Structure 1
Amino acid sequence: MLAAAQRLRRSTDFAAAVRGGRRAGRGAVVVHLTMPVTADPSTPTSPEPVRDNSAEQLSVPSRAGFVVSKAVGNAVTRNRVRRRLRALVRERLIDLPPGSTLVVRALPAAAQASYSRLATDLDAALAVARSPRERRPR
């Protein structure tokens, strides 16, 4: 089980991660990853008064949410897939930068996938989502 502070619960959080995050699909899962922007400390970011909130920024945990639709299977199958994905993500959340938001969407193939296959697909998708974007020539 993920800690309450590590779970996405509001639909607006899910929507922000899906719309604004990097998407990568591998095998049975699709991940949407939003990582915090590391700002240059020499440039001011806003006209707000300067507060020392470095402790707040360091304590912001990475958060994760799961989307397992009815296309995956019946309620028993969906819950089994969600439990497996939750256990896999719990192990990998510490590797993400603080403040990251991760949404894992299970595809119908996840219903028949083994735990090790889900782990492999999740690792591959996270690696692609975390890699810097390549500039494509036009």
Structure 2
Amino acid sequence: MLPQAYRMRDGDEFRRTIRRGASASTDALVSHVALTDGSGVRVGLVVGKKVGNAVVRNRVKRRIRHAVSPELAALPDGSRVVFRALAPAAVRHDLAADAVDCLRRAVRRSTAKRV
């Protein structure tokens, strides 16, 4: 589980990150990264009902959190990250690799422009 300081909870923060952040995707995940003037790194997960029932959705969230938690320390201060899981994420065996790959590509695409 991510420490509380890393969790994104505000709906407006999710919307700003998704709308203004750089994105990268695979067939199972989409990641959005925005740089803000805030401090710390915040991560949010969006896993809809198309992914599966509650058990499957929670499993997908745990797998994503576990994969990206070591990567968070390397992100610039003020980073906001949102992962959106798509339906194939439920059966994806290499979801962890997809999550890390999406995160790294989105970070490279993000610019110095602050949200």
2:72 to 93, 117, 122: 93
TM-score by length of 2: 0.87
Q: Compare 68-77 and 118-127 and name the one that shifted more.
A: 118-127
AA matched with 1:118: L
Structure 1, gaps ≥5 residues long: 38-56, 134-138
| 1:120 matched to 2:93 | no
2:59 alignment partner in structure 1: 80
CA shift, 1:3, in A, is 1.4
Query: Aligned residues: percent identity?
Result: 42
Aligned residues: 110
- Identify which of 95, 106, 110 aligns with 1:129: 106
SS in 2 for 1:105: strand
For residues 13 and 87 of structure 1, the distance between their equivalents in structure 2, rounded to whole angstroms, comes to: 22
* Cα-to-partner distance string for 1:102-131 (whole Å, 9 max, x where unaligned): 0001111110012xx112212221232122
- For 1:129, give the aligned amino acid: A
Structure with a larger share of its residues in strand: 2
Distance 1:66 1:23 in 2: 14
Alignment partners' CA distance in 2, 1:32 and 1:11: 15
Task: Give the SS at the match of 2:83.
Answer: strand
Contact 1:36/1:97 (<8 A) preserved = no
Q: SS in structure 2 opposite 1:131?
A: helix
Runs of 4+ in 1 over 6 A off after TM superposition: none
RMSD: 1.6
**When the two structures are superposed, what TM-score results if normalisation uses the length of structure 1?**
0.73
